[in-house]
Amino acid sequence: MKLYDGGKAPNPRRVRIFLAEKGLEVPLEPVDMSALGHKSELISSRNPLQRLPVLELDDGTIISESVAICRYFEELHPEPALMGVNALDKANVEMWQRRMEFNLLLLVANVFRHAHPAMAEWEVPQIKEFSDSNKPKVLATLAWMNDELKDKEFIAGERFTIADITAMIAVDFLKPARLEVPEEHTHVLDWHKRMKARPSANA
């Protein structure tokens, strides 16, 4: 199998961090997104949505969508569990993963894609007003996360999960979006430091 990888963009990182936490090595096939490699025939023929990463199995089967790729490896290699261990835990992890995805990662991406000059060819039309309108929503999520992280070591509770990965790549994505975690949100900042201290953060 091989993983068509997209470098430092959030979703390719998300899958590489997941694999590192599982202790799995999958051959990477680098694709240069800055040269629009995700729109090449190589990738388009495998994922018509022209998004990365894309996993290709030895028989040619394709799995795209980061979380679907993670699900595949979670099912094949359940330990350490990054998506929950029983019905209630799996539901809880999925709840937090989706909360971080829709209320943080997606909103930060909206801020970035609709304002950053480097995205002018990617997001057509760029709508500056839409970028701006997402900023207070990002800040509201960070304030809520700060409250939630008062008594929790990890986003979904007592164990490191995919929800931490999604939240970490979203917080790392604040910088290119020209946002930051307000310094009074010490619980978010401490949690983020703990996440960055894990070897997987460099994957």
Task: Using the minimum distance from each CB to a second copy, give the nearer residue, 35 or 87.
Answer: 87
Q: At what angle do helices 162-172 and 87-100 cross, to 10 degrees?
A: 10
| Binder among 20, 37, 50, 130 for a second copy (CB under 8 A) | 130
Q: Does 94 bind a second copy (CB under 8 A)?
A: yes
Q: At what angle do helices 162-172 and 186-196 cross, to 10 degrees?
A: 110
Q: How far is CA 27 from CA 5, 58, 62, 118, in A?
A: 10, 12, 15, 29
What residues contact residue 103 under an 8 Å CB cut-off, 6+ apart? 137, 141
Q: How far is the CB of 64 from a second copy (least distance, A)?
A: 6
Q: Does 129 bind a second copy (CB under 8 A)?
A: yes
* Range in contact with a second copy (rule: CB under 8 A) among 1-9, 26-34, 63-71, 172-180: 63-71
Structure tokens at 49: 């949505």
Q: Does 175 bind a second copy (CB under 8 A)?
A: no
Cβ 111 vs Cβ 74: under 8 Å = no
Q: Does 118 bind a second copy (CB under 8 A)?
A: no
Q: How far is the CB of 45 from a second copy (least distance, A)?
A: 14
Count the site residues for a second copy by CB under 8 A. Answer: 31
Residue with tokens 């039309």: 125
Q: In what order do the strands lie in the sheet with 28-30?
A: 28-30, 2-5, 54-56, 62-64
Q: Does 158 bind a second copy (CB under 8 A)?
A: no
Q: Please report, as ranges, the residues that interact with a second copy according to CB under 8 A.
A: 48-49, 57, 61, 63-65, 67-69, 71-72, 75-76, 86-88, 90-92, 94-95, 98-99, 103, 125, 127, 129-130, 133, 144
